[in-house]
Amino acid sequence: MEFFQIEEPEIEKPIIIAAMQDMGNVGSIVVNFINKSLNTRKFRTAKNQFPTHVIDNGGYIDVPIENWQYQFTDGLIIFGGGAGQPNSNTELNALCQDVIDISKKYSAKFIYTLGGFHTPRILNKNPKTFVTTTSEDLTKQIIGMGIETTPHKSMITGFNGLILGFAKQNGIQGIGMYGELNDPQIPQYRAAISIIKTLEKLTYRKLGDTSSLEMMAQEIEKSFEN
Read off the pTM. 0.91
> How far, CA to CA in Å, does 183 sit from each of 19, 24, 119, 188?
19, 7, 9, 8
Buried b / exposed e along 54-75 (16+ C-beta atoms within 10 A):
eeeeeeeeeeeebebbbbbbee
Give the chain's largest Cα–Cα span.
Answer: 58
State in Å, rounded, how far the first CA of the chain is from the last one.
44
The domain in which residue 24 lies consists of 2-225
Local confidence pLDDT in tens for the 226 residues of the chain:
899 999 999 999 999 999 998 899 999 999 999 999 999 999 999 998 777 778 899 999 998 778 899 999 999 999 998 777 887 889 899 999 999 999 999 999 899 999 999 998 888 889 999 999 999 999 999 999 999 999 888 788 889 999 999 999 999 999 999 999 999 999 999 999 999 999 999 999 999 999 999 999 999 888 877 6
- CATH classification at residue 86: 3.40.50.10900
- Report the number of distinct structural domains present in the chain: 1
